[in-house]
Amino acid sequence: MKNEEQFENWWKAYPRRVAKGNARKAFDKAIRKASMEELLDGITRYVAHKPSYCDFAHPASWLNAERWTDEWEPAQARVSESTTQHRQREILMMQYRNARDEGNATEAARLRALIG
């Protein structure tokens, strides 16, 4: 299979199709470092594990960073971290409301800054 065919197959598999020319250049470099199977397997892992709060990387960025080699943490660890962060935010919100309701403007402002 020629590079152009390989690129087109890779392009169809990648979830975000922008800046095709840059992606093609990055693919030409990447295919010298990894097999087509490795690149496609990398896409599969990326789609399965990418956090929902962020966008898919541009194709050229993904290739140039050799993201097909990323090692993803287990899903349970991601869920636990997300749940913990959510609970911490809820606690801060409760503390903020209490400080605000009690008229403690300094503490309310400090907590509001932490919440974001």
Query: What's the rounded mean pLDDT across residues 21-30?
Result: 97
pLDDT at 111: 85
Give yes or no for residue 81 having a pLDDT over 70: no
Interval 20-35 mean pLDDT: 96
DSSP 18: -
The token duo for 47 is: 């789609």
Query: CA-CA distance, 29 to 24, in Å (whole number)?
Result: 9
Q: Answer with the residue of higher pLDDT: 91 or 68.
A: 68
Q: Kindly report the pTM of this predicted structure.
A: 0.62
Domain chopping of the chain, boundaries: 3-69, 75-115
- Statement: residue 80 has pLDDT above 70: no
SS (H, E, C) 71-109: CCCCHHHHHHHHHHHHHHHHHHHHHHHHHHHCCCHHHHH
In a 13 Å sphere around the CA of 28, the CA atoms on its Cβ side amount to 6
Q: Summarize the confidence of residues 82-108 as an average pLDDT.
A: 82
Average per-residue pLDDT for the chain: 87
Band (23; pLDDT cuts 50, 70, 90): very high
Under the phi-then-psi rule, with left for phi > 0, alpha for psi from -120 to 50, and beta for the rest, what region is 31? alpha
